[in-house]
Amino acid sequence: MILALGLIAALYIAWNLGANDAANPTETAVGAGVISIKKAVILFSIFAMLGAVIQGYMVMKTIGKGVVSSIDPIGALIAALSAGVWITLVTWKGLPVSTTHSIVGAVLGIGFAYLVFDRINKINYSVVYKVIASWIISPIMAILVSYIIYHAFFALYVKMKKKGWDVDNVFKYILIGNLIFSAYAFGANDVGNATGVFLSVSSSVLGIPDRTTMFLLAVLGSAGIITGALTWGYRVIETVSYKITRLDPITGASAGLTNALVVWGFSTIPSILFGYGMPISTTHASVSSVIGVGIAKEKSLKALNLRVIGYILVSWILTVPVAAGLSFAIYFLFRLIV
């Protein structure tokens, strides 16, 4: 029964993922005006599902058995609900919060609860340090890479225009291609946020291998992500597409490609090297890419809406402690009652 409730909670998290993070792969194409929000969300749904099913296991393993070595069914359920409540709140306000930080924070809260109440340390600090390092490195890398790619795309744009090409049409298809690649990368990295916490529980209760469990959880997570994107996805898409900086085909293409490369790279390369894909914030990578191209185009911060960026930064800073504190508090109340 607890596992069933937990899987319902995983669907809730996945719905939140689709609602809040559909903006990450779609914002540049929508902001540059080459595709409608409706069409962008449909493309996002298809390719995010493919990324989740094909490569989602890489990060699912990190969250399910990496940050905290094992989580009991109650702890998994509480972690999912805690992260979900926070994500729903900020999505309602139209802010792009990190679902990765939310679920990792909630899992850490359960890990600290085990330490306080049971005197058992299940937190894998070496994995936690790697995850935190990836959170710091990925936004910085996204800003730098988007700055470089912008200048490369600008040079390409000028060269094609001199040759008489229909450059706006060419960049339209580049933007759509970036959306597809970015959606795939998102599915590979973020489906673990919704379902990874239930990996060890599901595998042990159902008595099936981890790899099979991860595939089934990826399918479940994909269904929730698609539902969230189709229902509430437009809220954050509108914020990031139009309110951080004004995007055109060149800046949009640069930011979109940067986001896809950074997210896919952190999912894949650490998995090959260390055995654990890094659950970075696709939101941080996406927003940082947009900030990077805004700086590259204007050579200053004047192109950026610093007030909106400030609100986003506050939501980022609050995410881990709020999610961790909420899951710890709920677990504490559960232990008092039971």
pLDDT digits (tens, 9 = 90+) for 223-250: 999 998 888 777 777 666 555 566 788 8
The phi and psi torsions of 328 (rounded to 5 degrees) equal -65, -45
Q: Cβ distance 319 to 100 under 8 Å?
A: no
Is residue 207 in some structural domain? yes
Q: Cβ distance 146 to 296 under 8 Å?
A: yes
Is residue 27 in some structural domain? yes
Is residue 223 in some structural domain? yes
The per-residue pLDDT of the chain, averaged, comes to: 85
CA angle at 188 for the pair 184 and 65, rounded to the nearest 5°: 175
For the record, the structure tokens of 310 come out as 């400030």
Is residue 337 in some structural domain? no
Alpha-carbon dihedral sign for residues 21, 6, 73, 51: negative
Question: 123 has which bridge partners?
Answer: 68
What is the number of structural domains in the chain? Answer: 1
Supply the pLDDT for residue 127. 83
Higher-scoring residue by pLDDT: 181, 304: 181
Is residue 313 in some structural domain? yes
Question: 68 has which bridge partners?
Answer: 123
Structural domain span for residue 316: 2-332
Number of helices (H), then strands (E), belonging to the chain: the values are 13, 0
pTM of the model: 0.83
Is residue 174 in some structural domain? yes
- CA–CA gap between residue 264 and residue 149 (Å, rounded): 17
Supply the pLDDT for residue 182. 93
Confidence of residue 257 (pLDDT cuts 50, 70, 90): very high
- CA–CA gap between residue 99 and residue 104 (Å, rounded): 8
Is residue 338 in some structural domain? no
